[in-house]
Structure 1
Amino acid sequence: MNPRLLLFIILLLLQTQAYAQTTIQGKVLDEKGLPLPGTNIQLKGSYDGATSNQDGSYQFETAEVDAQVLIYKFLGFKTQELNISIKPNSNEIQPIYLIEEITEMNSVTISAGAMEASDERKSVILKPLDIVTTPSAMGDIMGAFQTLPGTSTVGNDGRLFVRGGDASEVGIYIDGMRVGNAYGTTAGNVPTRTRFNPNLFKGTFFSTGGYSAEYGQALSSALALNTKDLSIRSQGDLSIMSVGGGYSHTLANEKQSITASANYFNLAPYQGLIKQEIDFEAAPNGWDIEVAAQKKTGENGLLKIMARTESGGMQLWQPIPGSDRKVLVDLKNNYNYAQANWRTALKKDWTIFTGISYSKNLDKIAYDSLLIERRNELIHIKGTAIKDFSDRLSAKFGIEHFIHPFSEKLLNEGLGREFDDRETYLFTEWDFYFNKDLVFRGGLRGGASSVSNEEWLDPRFSVAYQLKDKGQLSLAAGSFHQLPVENFRVLNTNLQNSESNHLILNYLFTKEGFTFRAETFYKSYDQLVTFEGTLDNPQVLQNGGSGFAKGIDFFFRDRKTFKDTDYWITYSFVDSKRSFNKYQTEVQPSFAPKHNISVVVKHFVPSLKSLIGGSFAYNDGYSYTNPNMDNSEMNSKTKSFQNLSLSWSYLPKPNVIIHLACTNVLGRDNVFGYTFSPKANTDGIFESIPQGQIAPRFVFLGVFLTFSKDKTANQLNNL
C-alpha cells in the first residue's frame, strides 16, 4: 500500500477516536432516597454536564476519557465531588445521595421552654424595643417579661416569678456571667426593679424551664441578657424624667466603643404631688454610674468590659396589725458590679469564651432599734469552648467556679454569722441535626459545694421536629438543682440542694407577622427548705419540703392584620402545690395565681408621630392563710388582680422622644395578701393589714434628647 495513503488512514482513525462521544448517566437522590430534580452536574474542568430531571436522572455526552471528577450542585445541599473513570461507549454512574446543608435559617430550633428577644434569631417572641415600649413595664426588663407566658404578676414585689416558683428560682446572667443581687433592695410592700438599664442589651434569652446545661442553680428559669457589641455611632443621651434624670455619652469607631452614664432618681417631688398609701419618711432615692466598653481583637475577637456602682435607700413607717403603733424601717443599699469577657473564633471551627464577674451588695437596715448589716458577694469565673465538627454536630464544653461569701450582723449586739462557699461546675452539651427538620440536644452538668459538702449531676435533653409548613414540636426534660437562699444557709450551713425535674412539650408556629406558641409542662420539687416559726425568725431549718407545678401556656402575637398595629395575648394556667417554708402541707403558694392573662397593644399613628400603647394584666388572686377562718393553711384568696396601663410616645423631632405612661389607670384597689397580728384581740379576732399598692396609680413622664452629628439619632438606636 502507498505509504502516504496508509499514514492518511491512520491519522483519520486517530482523529475519529479523539472526537468520539461517551455517554454519562446516573441519578441524584437526597438522603431519604427521593429524587432531586434541577441538580447541576458537571465534569470538573470542562463544559460538559447536565441538569437532573423530575425523577433525579441525568444524561450527557463527553469526549473526556479516563480519570475525571463529577461535581453535583443543588441549592440547600452540600456540593459533592465523585471520582470516576470514563470508559468508551456508555458509563452508568451509581446513584449519588446529596447531603442537606443545615444552616441557622433553614433548620429547626429547640423552642421548648425557650423565648428569645433579639433581632438576630428567627423564632423571636419579643424584640429589645418591645421591652421599653410595653406600657405596664415602665422601662423595666422584668415588667416586660411579666407579659410573657409562664410568668405571674406579683405587684408588691416586682421580681420575676415563673411557673409556680418564687423569684429566687430565676437565674439572671449578663453575657453568660451570673449576676448577684440583680434586683434593687427594697422594704415593706414597695416593688423592686432590675438594676440594669435595658439600653445596655441587644437581646435576651428567657427560658421558663428545661434550659441549657450551661446554666445552673435555678429551679425554675434562666434569663440571659446579652449586651451590645460595638456601638454604631458617637452620641450623647439626656433623660429628664418625673422621677429624676440622667446622661450617657458614647464614643465609637469601627474597632472600639465606650459608653459612660450617670443617673439620679428621687421620688420625693412626685410623692409630694400624688398621695401614697405607704407612709414614707424618706422617699426611695438613689444614684448610679455605669461604664461599658467594647473592643475588637484580631479578625474574630471581641472584648467587653462593664462596671457599675450605685447607692440608694428609703425610710418608711410600717404599721403593726392590731396596734396604732408604727415601726420606722430605714434601708440603705450600696451595690457594685463589674465583668469582663472575651469571645473569639479560632481555626478548625473552634469558638472560645472566657469571663469573670464580681457582684457586691451591702444592705444596712434599721428596724426600730434593731440594726442589721448584710453583705453578699459573688465572684464568677467561666470558660467555654464550642467545636463545630460539621453543620450537623457541634459540642460545647465549659467549666466555672464561684466564690460566694455571705455575712449578716446585729450591730448593737455585736453578733454575726457567715459562710464562705466555693462552688465548681463542669458542663457539656451536644447538638446533633439528623436533618434540617430534626435536632437532638443532650447535656450534662455536674457541681460541687464546699459548704454543703455535696456533689450532684444534672442530665438534660431536648429534641425538636419541624412539621413542614405547620410549625414545629419540641420536647425538653432535665434535672435541676439549687442551693437554698443565703439567709437560710447562714442559719444552717448543712442545708443541701433543692431539686426539680422538668418535662415540657412545646408547639411553635411562626410566619410573617404571626406567632403562636402553646406549651404544657410538669415540674416536681424535692428537698425544699422548711422551718418552724416565722419567716422573720425561722427555726429548725431542713430539706423537708416537696411539691409540683403543672399547667399550660398560650401566646399569640399579630403584627400584620391591622395596619401599624402590633398586639400579643398571653394566657397561663399554673397548678402549683408545695410544702415549703413554714407550711406543713402542700399548699398553693401566694406567688402562684392559677390563671394569668396579659394583653399588650401598640399602634403607631404616622400623622401624629406617635406610638400609643395599652396593656392589661389579670390573675385570679393570691392565696393566703386567714387565722379567723379555720386552722388550715392557705385557706383564703384575695380578689382578682387587674391592671390597665396606657402609654404615649411622641417624636416631635428625630432626636427627641417624649414618653408618658400611667399604670392602673382605672385605680383598682389591688390587694396581694394580708398581714395578721400574732394574737387575737379581746373579741377573738386576728386583726390584719392588707398588703396593697403603694399608690392607686403611677404616672411617668420623660423627655429623652439625643445629641449627634447627623441630628437624626435617638435613644431607640441603642436598642
Structure 2
Amino acid sequence: MKRFIYLSLLITTLYAQFAFGQTTIKGQVLSAKGEQLIGANIYLDNTYDGTSSDINGQFTFKTNEKNEQTLVVSMIGYHEYREIINCNGQPLQFTVNLREKIDEMTAVTITAGAMDASDEKKAVVMKPLDIVTTSGALGDVIGALTKLPGTSTVGNDGRLFVRGGDASETNIYFDGLQVGNAYGSTAQNVPTRSRFNPNLFRGSFFSTGGYSAEYGQALSSALVLNSIDMPIRDQTDISLMSVGGGLSHTMVGENRAFTASANFTDLSPYMSIINQNMDFTDAPSNWDAEVLGRQKIGKSGILKGFMHIEGAKMSLNREDINSGEIQATTIENSYQFGNVSFRNVAGNGWSYYGGASISNNEDRISIDNENYTRTSLLNHNKAVLIKDFSDKFSLKNGLEAYANQYEETVLNDGMSRKLDELTINHFIEADYYFSSNLVLRAGIRSTYNDLLEDNWSTYRASLGYKFSKYSQVSVASGTFNQLPANEVRIQNTALENTQSTHYIANYLYSKEGRTFRTEAFYKSYDNLVLFGQSDGLDFTDLTNDGSGYAQGFDLFYRDNKSLKNTDFWITYSYTDSKRNLSGFESQVRPGFAPLHNASLVMKKFFRELRSQLGFSYSWNSGYTYHNPNLEGEMQSETPAFNNLSLSWSYLPTPNLIIHFECSNVLGSDNIFGYQYTNQANENGVFEGRPQGMVADRFIFLGVFLTLSKDKKANQLNNL
C-alpha cells in the first residue's frame, strides 16, 4: 500500500512539473479585412508543435519548448506571419491578421483597351499561333488583327485602322522599340503588308486605346510585338510558294541562339495566270533578309540583336480621270531596320530593360518621268527602370529619345526640303494592388520637342476590378498627343500636336475555353490638321483647326470547347466617328471608318485527315465618300464589304505542310470609294469611277518543309 502511495505521489509530482513546463498558445487568424481564415497553418519554427485554424479561424496548441521561439502563421494566398515569442509556461494568446499576397496568375489585370496575344498573360484573347493561322490573313500579322474588335478592314490600304482613326494613329513597336515605316511602300489603292516575318514573335500586345504611358505619339493605339527569347531546337525551314520562297535556319546553344532567314516574293508568274484589275507593267516584287541573335545574361537577363533589310519594286499604268491619258507610276523601296534590346533582374525588387533601334526608309517614285525621292530616318533609344516595392506596389520610370529626319527631293530640278528634330520623353507609371481583386495603374508622360521648342504632358489611368474567379471589369482614361505626319509637317513646321482623349469601360469573362469580352469607348479629337487642297505632294492652307470624335462599342466571343477539335471567334464593332477632313467645313464620317464591322473566324482540325480547315468571313457596312454631284459633304456610301476566305493545311508527314488559301472566295465586288473629275462635263456632271480591289480574289499555295532532330517540328505557326 505504501509503495502504491509513493508511486502515485511520484507520478503526480512529475505530471505537475511537466504541466507547469508546457506553454499554451491560442488565438485567431483573420484577413486584413477581419475575415476569419480557415485552415491556416500555425506552428513553432523548427519544431513539430503546431495546428490549423478551425471554422472560426481559431487555434490552440501546447508546446514543451522553452525560451524564445518563432511563431509562424502561413496560408496560401497570404503573406507569411512571423513573431518571436517567449515560452515560459504562461498562456499566450494572439490575433493574427494576414496580408493578402498578390499572385500574378490569380490577380486582376488591366483589360480596358488591351488585347494580349501572348502565352505569358492569363487574360489572353489570342495566342501567337492564332495571329498567323487566321484564314484570309495570308501570314500577315496586321491581316489577322483586322479580325479583332475595334479594327476596320480597308482592303485597298492594308494597314491597321483602329476605332475611327486612320492608320497613322497606330504606332508599332518591336521588342519595345518603335519601328519607322512599318509597312511596305506601295501605290495608291494597292494594299500593303507589314514588313516582318510573323514567326519571329512569341506574342503581341495590341491596344485599341488607353494604352500605357510607356508608349506615346499615337492618337489611337499601340501594337507591341515581342520576339521569341530562346528557341527550343536547331531547325531549318524551307518554304516554296506560288509567289516566292524562303529559307530560315536557327542554331541554339546553351546560352545563346541565332536565327537567319531570307525570303523573296515575285508576283509576275502569278499575275500572268490570274487576271488583275490593275495594269501592272512590273508586278510587285520584294526580297528581304534578317538575323536575330540572343544571348542570356546571368540567370534572368537576355540581350537581343536584330537586323532586317529589304528591297521592293512595282510599276503600273493608270488612266488619269481628268485628261484620259495613261499615267505611268513606278515605286522602288529600300529599307533597313535594326535594334538591340536588353532586360534583366537586378535583385531586391529592381529590374531594367531598354535598347536602341534605327529605321531607314527610301522611296524612289517616278510619275510620268517626274522623279521624286522620300527618305526617312528614325532613331529610338530607351531605358526603363522598375522597382517592385512589394507585391502590391510597382513603379516604372523611363527615359527615351527620338531623332527624326525626313527629306523630299524632286530630282528633275534638284529641289528638296528637309525636316530634322529631336524629341525627349520621360514617363513614370505605377501599379498599385489594393487587393488581388482591385488594381490601379496611373502614369504621366512628358515630352520636349526641339523643333517646336515646346513641352507637354499627358496622363494615363486604368482601374481593374475582379469580382469573381472568371470575370472582371476595367475602366481607363487618358490623353494622347501626336505630331502630324512628316509629309505634312515638312511644309509647315509650326504645326502643333494633334490630341485625343480616351474613355473606356470593359468587361471580360473567361472560363474553360470560352471568352467573352465587351467594351464601350468614347474618343475626342482636337487640333487635327486641316488643309485646303493637296495633289499628293503639296498641301495648301495647313492649320490645326480640326476636331472630331469616335464612340461606340465592341463585342468578342471565342470558344474552343463547345465543338470538338474546333476553335472559333466572333467579333462585332460599332464605331460612330466624325471629324474635319481636308477642306470640308463640317465634321464628317471618314471613308476609312465604317459604322459596323463584324467577322467570324473558325479553325477545325481533322485528325484522321491530318488536316486543318479554316475560314473567315469579314463584313463592314459601306465606306463613305464625297460625291460632288450631290449637296453636302461625304454624303454617299458604298455597298457593304464582304470577304469569305478559306484555307486548308495538310500534313502528309509531321515536318511537311501543304497549305492552300483563297481570299474572297465568292469574288465579291468590293468598292472602297469613288474618284471624280475636277471639272464637270458639258452636262454639269462630275464623272466618277469606283476604287476597288486589285484582284477579285487571291489564291496561295505553299509547301513548307522543316529539317530538325525533332521529326515532329514544323512551320504550322507560319501559316
Q: TM-score band, normalised by the shorter chain?
A: over 0.9
Residue 271 of structure 1 aligns to a residue whose secondary structure is helix
Contact 1:240 1:246 in 2 (8 A): yes
CA drift at 1:585: 1.1
- Aligned equivalent of 1:54: 55
Structure 2 equivalent of residue 71 of structure 1: 72
1:64 Cα deviation after fit: 2.9
Corresponding residue number in structure 2 for 1:147: 147
Per mean C-alpha deviation after superposition, the further-off stretch among 77-86 and 15-24 is: 15-24
User: In structure 2, what residue type is equivalent to 1:534?
Assistant: S
Residue 120 of structure 1 corresponds to 120
Q: Distance in 2 between matches of 1:488 and 1:45?
A: 72
* SS of the residue 1:144 aligns to: helix
Aligned to 1:219: 219
Deviations 1:21-69 (A, max 9, x none): 3321100011111111111100123221111000100111222344332
Partner of 2:710: 710
Residues 64-119 of structure 1: per-residue CA shift (max 9 Å, x gap): 344332100111111111222345353222x1111111121010000000001011
> Are 2:577 and 1:584 aligned?
no
Correspondence for 1:544: 545
2:647 partner letter? S
**Counterpart of 1:31?**
32
Q: Distance in 2 between matches of 1:649 and 1:100?
A: 48
Amino acid at match of 1:232: I
CA contact (8 A) 1:320 1:677 kept: no
Mapped partners of 1:387, 1:171: distance in 2: 27
AA of the residue aligned to 2:404: H
Q: Distance in 2 between matches of 1:624 and 1:457?
A: 36
Cα offsets for 1:604-657 (capped at 9, x unmatched): 000110000010000111000000112x21010000000000000111111111
Aligned equivalents of 1:86, 1:15: Cα separation in 2: 18
Give the alignment's TM-score, normalised by structure 2: 0.97
CA distance in 2 between partners of 1:397 and 1:535 (Å): 44
Query: How far apart are 1:397 and its partner, in Å?
Result: 0.6
Residue 19 of structure 1, CA deviation: 4.6
Contact 1:534 1:582 in 2 (8 A): no
Determine whether 1:616 maps to 2:617. yes
Whole-angstrom CA distance in 1 between matches of 2:201 and 2:684: 55
The CA distance in 1 between the partners of 2:427 and 2:456, in whole Å, is 12
Q: Secondary structure at the match of 2:540?
A: strand
Residue 369 of structure 1 and its aligned partner are, at CA, apart by 2.7
Match of residue 449 from structure 1:
449
Mapped partners of 1:109, 1:48: distance in 2: 40
Equivalent in the alignment of 2:517: 517
The CA distance in 2 between the partners of 1:691 and 1:11, in whole Å, is 105
CA distance in 2: counterparts of 1:55 and 1:521, whole angstroms: 45
| Contact 2:129–2:717 (CA under 8 A) maintained in structure 1 | no
- Output the TM-score relative to the length of structure 1: 0.97
Aligned to 1:182: 182
Instruction: Tell me the distance in 1 between the aligned counterparts of 2:535 and 2:43.
Output: 76
Q: Which moved more, 1:211-220 or 1:71-80?
A: 71-80
Of 20-29 and 302-311, the range deviating more from structure 2: 20-29
Query: Separation in 2 of the partners of 1:566 and 1:67?
Result: 60
| Larger displacement relative to structure 2 (385-394 or 19-28) | 19-28
Q: For residues 183-262 of structure 1, what are the structure 2 equivalents within 5 Å?
A: 183-262=183-262
Q: How does 1:341-420 map to 2 (within 5 A)?
A: 341-420=341-420
Letter in 1 for 2:195: R
Question: Aligned partners of 1:92 and 1:487: how far apart in 2?
Answer: 75
Equivalent position amino acid for 2:40 in 1: T
Task: Using the TM superposition, give the Cα deviation of residue 584 of structure 1 relative to its aligned residue in structure 2, in angstroms.
Answer: 2.1
SS in 2 for 1:77: coil
Secondary structure (helix, strand or coil) at the match of 1:589 reads coil
Equivalents in 1 of 2:310, 2:53: separation in Å? 67
Post-superposition Cα deviations, 1:297-354, rounded to whole Å, max 9, x if no partner, equal: 2222211001011001100012222543220001000000001111111121211112
Q: Which amino acid aligns with 1:527?
A: N
Tell which deviates more after alignment, 11-20 or 687-696: 11-20
Residue 645 (structure 1) aligns with = 645
C-alpha offsets along residues 209-264 of structure 1, whole Å, 9 cap, x if unaligned?
00000000100000000000111111111110011001011111221111111111
Aligned to 1:80: 81
CA contact (8 A) 1:316 1:329 kept: yes
- Post-superposition CA distance 1:399-429 (Å, at most 9, x none): 0001101000111121111110100000011
- Residues 132 and 718 of structure 2 are in contact (CA less than 8 Å); yes or no, is this contact kept in structure 1? no
Which whole-Å CA distance do the structure 1 matches of 2:718 and 2:350 have between them? 30
1:435-584 superposed matches below 5 A: 435-469=435-469, 471-534=471-534, 536=536, 537-584=538-585
Q: How many residues matched?
A: 711
AA aligned opposite 1:261: S
User: What displacement does 1:550 show?
Assistant: 0.4
| Correspondence 1:665 to 2:665 | yes
String of CA shifts for 1:339-373, please: whole Å, max 9, x gaps: 11111111212111120100000000001132110
- Contact persistence 2:533–2:582 (CA under 8 A): no
Contact 1:441–1:461, Cα closer than 8 Å, also in 2: yes
Residue 546 of structure 1 contacts residue 580 of structure 1 at CA under 8 Å; is this kept in 2? no
Measure, in 2, the Cα distance between the counterparts of 1:508 and 1:319.
51
Per-residue displacement from partner, 1:254-305 (whole Å, max 9, x unpaired)? 2111111111111010000011000111000011111111111222221100
Percent identity of paired positions between Structure 1 and Structure 2 = 50
C-alpha distance in structure 2 between counterparts of 1:56 and 1:34, whole Å: 9
8 Å CA contact 2:577, 2:589 repeated in 1 = yes
- How far the C-alpha of 1:469 sits from its partner, in A, is 3.7
SS of structure 1 residue aligned to 2:144: helix
Moved more, 205-214 or 229-238: 229-238
- 1:172 deviation in Å? 0.3
Which amino acid is 1:497 matched to? N
Matched residues in 2 for 1:705 and 1:174: separation? 27
Stretches of structure 1 that go unaligned for 5 or more consecutive residues are 1-5
SS at match of 1:533: coil
Q: State the distance in 2 between where 1:66 and 1:133 align.
A: 67
- The question of whether the paired residues in 2 share the 8 Å contact of 1:535 and 1:581 is answered with no
3-state SS of the aligned residue for 1:540? coil
- Which segments of 5 or more consecutive residues in structure 2 lack a partner in the other structure? 1-5
Alignment partners' CA distance in 2, 1:593 and 1:383: 39
8 Å CA contact 1:322, 1:687 repeated in 2: no
User: Which residue in 1 is equivalent to 2:297?
Assistant: 297
Contact 2:172 2:223 in 1 (8 A): yes
Q: Tell me the equivalent position of 1:3.
A: none
Q: Which amino acid aligns with 2:426?
A: L
Opposite residue 363 of structure 2, the aligned amino acid is D
User: Shift of residue 583 of structure 1?
Assistant: 2.3
Give distance in 2, aligned partners of 1:626 and 1:84: 85
* Cα 1:680–1:310 shift into 2, 3 Å: same
Instruction: State the shift of 1:716 in Å.
Output: 3.5
Is contact 1:188–1:318 with CA below 8 Å preserved after alignment?
no
Report if aligned partners of 1:322, 1:688 keep a CA contact under 8 Å in 2. no
Amino acid across the alignment from 1:505: A
Partners of 1:335 and 1:89 lie apart in 2 by 80
For 2:310, the equivalent position in structure 1 comes to 310
Change (3 A) 1:718 1:683: closer
Note if contact 1:317-1:328 (Cα within 8 Å) is conserved in structure 2.
yes
**Helix, strand or coil at the partner of 1:538:** coil
Superposed displacement of residue 581, structure 1? 2.6
